[in-house]
């Protein structure tokens, strides 16, 4: 096995992503040792039972002591305050990063840590499932997925290369970009899709003229797809929308504008406009499949054939 990229990784927060990073780092030998902390004592116990950590500390500061990689995997709403609270406990030369879905707020928090001897590099693995908690994680979650890193301007090149090597070892592909651009891109590819999914499932549930039983029985017509991401962790997603407000509202305005055009096309029998759009969107799926981010199997391959 190749030598570890970091000697000791502290993972703060052991949900789906944190526990998957821990599992993947151990499985690939990317780190010498994994120590975890979670605010929930039950989750800390579970981490040891599941065996994805060498140790679980009852204080975050103890976990990060001596760690050359600190991985914050809490909901994005508390990443800033967790980083600030841990700043005095960080080992000189360590890299602190995170896995949150909003990067500008994290970049801002890292910039204010007041530790010039620490490398703060916000990160975001674009991977996940609709499940939550330490039992939901798995080592292969990052295979062939993209991880976006948002290093500060004039940040240390060697630290960025090392973190890149870490994620690459876990099977991911890494791209660096500005935190603000990240937040715009993810508003399109992740935040708006979740908002729309949550919304349509809510709308369907609230109909008086269609029962919930009918909605569930006849969901194979398309609705069931939306229920998957609308089953994602509520706290995580509340935080994302509140911490990427500007980009989300901007993209949502575009979406609403386009939807008004579609609505009008239906009302006025403009079949050609509909057909043109529906043809164009087909090509986008081909691109997503070609980019290795999706299965080409019909129905995601979920129906037993």
Nearer Cβ to a copy of itself, position 2 or 217?
217
* Closest CA relative to residue 172, chosen from 162, 180, 161, 164: 164
88 DSSP assignment: G
291 touches a copy of itself by CB under 8 A: yes
Nearer Cβ to a copy of itself, position 166 or 241?
241
Strand 146-149 to strand 173-176: parallel, antiparallel, or no bridges (unpaired)? Answer: parallel
110 touches a copy of itself by CB under 8 A: no
211 CB burial (10 A radius; 0-12, 13-18, 19+): exposed
Q: Can you state the angle between helices 41-50 and 16-28, rounded to 10 degrees?
A: 30
81 touches a copy of itself by CB under 8 A: no
Task: Tell me which residues in 111-140 interact with a copy of itself (CB under 8 A).
Answer: 126-131, 136, 138, 140
Q: Which residues on neighbouring strands pair with residue 293, listed in sequence order?
A: none
Task: Tell me which residues in 14-73 interact with a copy of itself (CB under 8 A).
Answer: none
The tokens for 179 are: 């935190």
Query: Residue 124, SS3?
Result: strand
Phi/psi of residue 137, nearest 5 degrees: -75, 160
Instruction: Report the nearest approach of a copy of itself to the CB of residue 203 (Å).
Output: 5
Instruction: Report the nearest approach of a copy of itself to the CB of residue 270 (Å).
Output: 9
Instruction: Report the nearest approach of a copy of itself to the CB of residue 77 (Å).
Output: 8
Task: Tell me which residues in 236-255 interact with a copy of itself (CB under 8 A).
Answer: 237-239, 241-242, 245, 248-249, 251-252, 254-255
What residue spans of 87-233 are helical by DSSP H?
Answer: 104-111, 157-169, 179-186, 192-205, 212-217, 223-229
Nearer Cβ to a copy of itself, position 152 or 193?
193
178 touches a copy of itself by CB under 8 A: no
2 touches a copy of itself by CB under 8 A: no
Among 78, 146, 168, 178, binds a copy of itself (CB under 8 A): 146
Task: Tell me which residues in 180-199 interact with a copy of itself (CB under 8 A).
Answer: 184-186, 188-199
The binding track of 198-237 with respect to a copy of itself, each residue x by CB under 8 A or -, is: xxxxxxxxxx-xx-xxxxxxxxxxxxxxxxxxxxx-xx-x
Query: Which residues have CB under 8 Å from 253's CB, separation 6+?
Result: none
Nearer Cβ to a copy of itself, position 116 or 269?
269
For 55-81, give the DSSP string.
Answer: EE-SSHHHHHTT-SEEEE-S-HHHHHH
Nearer Cβ to a copy of itself, position 32 or 193?
193
297 touches a copy of itself by CB under 8 A: yes
Q: Which residues on neighbouring strands pair with residue 174, listed in sequence order?
A: 147
Nearer Cβ to a copy of itself, position 6 or 241?
241
275 touches a copy of itself by CB under 8 A: yes
Among 148, 150, 160, 163, binds a copy of itself (CB under 8 A): 148
266 touches a copy of itself by CB under 8 A: yes
Nearer Cβ to a copy of itself, position 45 or 245?
245
Q: Which residues of 154-186 are buried (b: 16+ CB within 10 A; e: fewer)?
A: ebeeebbebbbebbbbbbbbbebeebeebbbbb
């Amino acid at each position: 096995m190749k030598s570890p990229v970091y000697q000791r990784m502290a993972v703060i927060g052991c949900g789906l992503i944190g526990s998957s990073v821990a599992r993947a780092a151990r499985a690939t030998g990317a780190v010498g040792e994994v120590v975890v902390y979670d605010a929930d004592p039950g989750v800390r116990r579970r981490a040891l039972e599941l065996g994805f950590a060498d140790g679980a500390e009852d204080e975050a500061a103890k976990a990060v002591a001596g760690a050359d990689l600190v991985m914050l995997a809490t909901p994005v709403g508390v990443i800033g305050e967790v980083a600030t609270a841990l700043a005095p406990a960080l080992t000189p030369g360590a890299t602190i990063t995170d896995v949150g879905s909003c990067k500008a707020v994290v970049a801002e928090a890292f910039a204010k840590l007041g530790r010039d001897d620490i490398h703060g590099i916000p990160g975001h693995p674009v991977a996940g499932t609709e499940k939550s908690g330490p039992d939901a994680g798995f080592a292969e979650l990052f295979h062939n997925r993209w991880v976006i890193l948002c290093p500060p301007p004039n940040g240390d090149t060697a630290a960025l290369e090392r973190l890149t090597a870490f994620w690459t070892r876990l099977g991911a592909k890494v791209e660096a970009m500005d935190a603000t651009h990240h937040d715009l891109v993810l508003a399109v590819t992740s935040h708006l899709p979740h908002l729309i999914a949550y919304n349509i499932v809510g709308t369907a549930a609230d109909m008086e003229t269609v029962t919930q039983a009918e909605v569930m029985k006849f969901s194979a017509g398309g609705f069931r797809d939306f229920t998957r991401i609308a089953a994602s962790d509520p706290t995580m997603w509340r935080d994302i929308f509140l911490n990427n407000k500007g980009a989300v509202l901007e993209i949502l305005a575009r979406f609403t504008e386009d939807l008004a055009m579609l609505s009008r096309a239906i009302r006025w029998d403009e079949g050609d406009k509909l057909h043109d759009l529906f043809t164009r969107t087909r090509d986008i799926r081909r691109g997503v499949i070609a980019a290795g981010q999706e299965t080409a199997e019909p129905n995601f391959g979920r129906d037993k054939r």
